[in-house]
Structure 1
């Protein structure tokens, strides 16, 4: 018996927002002063660093719990299971349901409970709860599901990662161009078939790093006291390229899999340059060359949807929707993420 991902699903919003949509924004520095360059230059530099050409936003009639439900439905169908046999629904997010033009998050009841209701699951022993762990939330949910199943208190879990970041960004902050919306989900269960979680690692660095991502006021000093997602981008970059490669190595070493046998890296889609630097340092720890096509990327077209990026990317690759990327039965892959907290995790998985 092994613990495996037996079904996946994702929801990619239909509203495409290209970079040129931001040309009319009044971008400001943190102190409220204007930039020296016009928006065309700002956007060009932004694309060069992040790799983002466009991103996806949810339709106004949908919320985080709604798109989480839509991804969950697909995962349940893909796994071919009876939804009433799910023991846990773990919903990873960070801001709850945020209605259009209303930045206040709503997490009462929990988003996992809302998904359970949407799925019309009657079984009261199907426990539904939310997980707030920054961008690494979905991987952490998978780690928790693995622990539940290993301990014998569960046989089957539904793990969801979803976010609607477009609704909590400051339009005067150029970092607002990074964020997007999306949802991914997976069924994780005990199985006799292929697939196995081989190892995992998690860490929280909070002594000096806790507020690298935070809620802060708009850069437009004339606006009200509403708070938006903010970050110290340079500090996050330095933190990530310093700590994530070692966490990945520790996890891979624990799995017993040789670096030459690793087929894919599914890393949080935060910033193209940062992800490339992480992978370069990871392979450098082994003095090993980086294999071709080792790192599927979706950030260029989908942006950074936080907790949704890893499960969405995995589902897209499994279904042949990322060009020149695929995984086969028996391939060993690693999932890795870094985000608010500052939290890091990794998980080695045999497909």
Structure 2
């Protein structure tokens, strides 16, 4: 038994924050941001929008695309760094908003690698027979963690949600996944804050050592791409589309170069929504599918890396 992606969906909040608008708040320019990151704008959740609200719309669109009724879902996993609350999990909150109940629903926290971690977990459930129809969501309101006076981070992040529906199939779908983590690097990309007796202890904003993160990401993503292909018994030339975490155009270009892939075969959406953490890969996937670029039967390589460090990849026959 295999798990296959039956449908995709996504949602971006209505409010758009452009580079020009950011340049009015911090010492930067549109040209500077685009040349170093590839980002032109990002979406920001409304004051009354929580992570589960963004996720709900993405899930409803994915279910519609899959032709699956919500009553058929028997597993829900939400990858998020920005949950609605400490508990209950955002997955339980989302399950309630969907109007379904009883089946397992839980969150996974692996920051920008969260969607790959969640997809791999759901794949194990389906392959083992523990689930027949799983919904996997990456959803974030990262803007809540941003110091809008920090030029190094405020230009990078945005909000959004993406979802996929996985169904059991006798035909191969998810061919191979690889997950990794190394906590020795936790200090260079983090948000330290924790609640204690009604107060936040530690820095509540995203902290990042950009150059160190870049160097580690380029090496780790190249290695995990190779190991995942080897696990599936495929070559670089077998990949039709690279669907990477949308963090920085330079990292994306480096990964494509390592795979000997033209950028024409890379789904790039970082310019339109910036780094949406766990939401960025399913957002890019849905954009590729709905644009008609990604077709049934093609082979996709999805990969991402985030704080932890946690990283991973998934090779998929779409």
Superposition TM-score, scaled by structure 1 size = 0.84
Map of 1:139 onto structure 2 = 116
Change (3 A) 1:40 1:134: closer
Map of 2:209 onto structure 1 = 232
Indicate whether 1:64 and 2:35 are aligned. no
Larger CA Rg, structure 1 vs 2: 1
Alignment map for 1:328-343 (pairs within 5 Å): 328-343=295-310
Alignment map for 1:95-134 (pairs within 5 Å): 95-97=82-84, 106-122=85-101, 124=102, 126-134=103-111
Indicate whether 1:349 and 2:312 are aligned. no
Distance in 2 (CA, whole Å) between partners of 1:249 and 1:137 is: 20
Higher helix share: 2
1:107, distance to aligned residue in structure 2 (A): 3.0
* 3-state SS, counterpart of residue 338 of structure 1: strand
* 3-state SS, counterpart of residue 60 of structure 2: helix
**Are the aligned partners of 1:5 and 1:195 in contact in 2 as well (CA < 8 Å)?**
no
**Are the aligned partners of 1:334 and 1:346 in contact in 2 as well (CA < 8 Å)?**
yes
The aligned length equals: 310
Alignment map for 1:232-311 (pairs within 5 Å): 232-280=209-257, 282-283=258-259, 289-311=260-282
Distance in 2 (CA, whole Å) between partners of 1:342 and 1:77 is: 35
1:226, distance to aligned residue in structure 2 (A): 5.5
**Are the aligned partners of 2:33 and 2:40 in contact in 1 as well (CA < 8 Å)?**
no
Give CA-to-partner distance per residue, 1:299-343, whole Å, 9 cap, x none: 1111111100000110111011xxxx7022211110000001101
Consecutive unaligned residues of structure 1, counting only runs of 5 or more, are: 28-38, 98-105, 218-223, 284-288
Map of 1:315 onto structure 2 = 286
Distance in 1 (CA, whole Å) between partners of 2:113 and 2:174 is: 17
Map of 1:327 onto structure 2 = 294
1:40, distance to aligned residue in structure 2 (A): 4.3
Give CA-to-partner distance per residue, 1:13-52, whole Å, 9 cap, x none: 1111111112232x4xxxxxxxxxxx245x5322211011
1:144, distance to aligned residue in structure 2 (A): 0.4
Task: Give the RMSD, CA atoms, in angstroms.
Answer: 1.8
* 3-state SS, counterpart of residue 308 of structure 2: coil
| 2:167 pairs with one of 168, 176, 189 | 189
Distance in 1 (CA, whole Å) between partners of 2:251 and 2:262 is: 18
Distance in 1 (CA, whole Å) between partners of 2:243 and 2:164 is: 15
1:82, distance to aligned residue in structure 2 (A): 2.6
| 1:74 pairs with one of 57, 61, 65 | 61
